Amino acid sequence: MDRKLLYITIALIAGGMVMIYSSSSVLAESRFGSHLYFLQRQIIWLILAILVGYGAFRMDLKKAGPYSFILLLVSLALLVFVFLMPARNGSHRWIFLGPLTVQPSELFKLAVIYYLAFSLAREKRNIKRLREFIYPYFPLIGIGLILIIFEPSLGSALTIALTILMIFFLAGVRMVHLAALILPFMGLVASVVFILGYKKPRVMDYLAAIKDPLEGSYQIKQAVLAMGAGGIFGSGLGNGNQKLFFLPYPHTDFIFASIGEELGFVGLLAVMVLYFGLIWRGIRIARYQPDRFGYLLAMGMTASIFVSVAINIGVVTSLLPTTGIPLPFLSYGGSALMVSVISVAILLNLSRRKGVVSR
């Protein structure tokens, strides 16, 4: 298998565990009475992710392809079920399983990529025709994205939508047909933001932050201050001040800012190099796949990681409006870690196919 991809992933996960503890220990002690609270739960999720990921690494992905539709339906059912769960911070995004929480939108993302790769690779599928492009995909995918938007989780919906568009583009869908899919979705997003008012203050804060990051939202101000305080080499691991109840979510959505404060520009550069290496290995695995299914599946998994990384770092550096997208492998969050590990496991599985690693 592609051992470089494996080593890069291990480095990211290890770095994530260190930074989760460093950025959350004070908050955990204050809120839950144990400085290990978040780290312990992340380790539990990592163990579960490794077990499930090993199964994905060993399975015959192509033979299991027909079951991807069932997985998609299950994920849609969970997206409906999540509205029966108690709201947290005004959102219905999680299913509570004792001390652990599951985010169905992450499972939906994984299911969509797998289903699209299998379906679009079928020889009888003529995606150049609008009817065969819209009818099989638009209803189910559209319902899933709408449910995620109304959880509400606009950031997750945008991340999944961008990944889907990349897969369709790589599969050869005509640009005019892609426009037919994009325009209604953009209209829905604009209506949710500017008519219903969801996230509108964040959009206005973002527009202000374009001129000056310190004129943006509170989160952006604190993130910019954190990274600025880190300088070139940082304040030292564990010595950050912004995590002391100044920077919101220093161990989840804004862990990139925590890294910048404690490890400086050098630490951020190291993280970017690791992500670049992971995405490059994913593209390389896709390039040498012996069939269309493997190519689309590898590119889909790689694209999902790339989009999440780009959006998270874009938000932290005030290039994009604030939205709750975790940084793959580094941010605290069980569902996101599980899906990221499974995505890499699938890439490692695909790298074992005949002739891929040897090239």
pLDDT above 90 (res 300): yes
CA atoms of 219 and 147, how far apart (whole Å): 27
Spans of all domains in the chain: 3-351
Which residue type sits at 45? Answer: W
Q: Are 225 and 242 in contact (CB under 8 A)?
A: yes
| pLDDT tier at 126, thresholds 50, 70, 90 | low
Residue 149: which residues within 8 A CB-CB, separation 6 or more? 157, 188, 189, 192
- Computed over every residue of the chain, the mean pLDDT equals 86
Kindly state the tokens that stand for 301: 């998994």
Mean pLDDT to the nearest integer, 73-102: 82
pLDDT above 90 (res 317): no
Amino acid 18: pLDDT: 94
CA atoms of 92 and 300, how far apart (whole Å): 27
| pLDDT tier at 130, thresholds 50, 70, 90 | low
Q: Nearest CA to 238 among 11, 21, 3?
A: 21
Question: pLDDT: is 343 or 153 the higher one?
Answer: 343
Distances (CA, A) of 177 to 48, 86, 127, 183, 303: 40, 39, 9, 10, 20
Amino acid 228: pLDDT: 87
CA atoms of 114 and 83, how far apart (whole Å): 25
Kindly state the tokens that stand for 335: 């569902």
Q: In this predicted model, what pLDDT tens digit does every residue of 106-124 receive, in sequence order?
A: 899 999 999 999 988 877 6
Mean pLDDT to the nearest integer, 226-236: 88
* Number of neighbours of residue 209 by Cβ within 10 angstroms: 21
Q: Nearest CA to 163 among 309, 53, 13?
A: 309
Mean pLDDT to the nearest integer, 262-278: 95
Max intra-chain CA distance, the chain: 59
Angle ∠(349,5,171) on CA atoms, nearest 5: 60
Residue 287: which residues within 8 A CB-CB, separation 6 or more? 295
Amino acid 152: pLDDT: 77
- DSSP, residue by residue, 105-152: HHHHHHHHHHHHHHHHT-TT--TTSHHHHHHHHHHHHHHHHHHHHTTT
| pLDDT tier at 202, thresholds 50, 70, 90 | low
Q: In this predicted model, what pLDDT tens digit does every residue of 20-75 receive, in sequence order?
A: 999 999 889 988 888 999 999 999 999 999 999 999 999 999 899 889 999 999 99
CA atoms of 203 and 91, how far apart (whole Å): 19
For residue 97, list its beta bridge partners. 100
Q: Are 209 and 318 in contact (CB under 8 A)?
A: yes
Residue 60: which residues within 8 A CB-CB, separation 6 or more? none
Claim: this prediction has a pTM higher than 0.85: yes
Q: Are 24 and 252 in contact (CB under 8 A)?
A: no
CA atoms of 85 and 106, how far apart (whole Å): 17
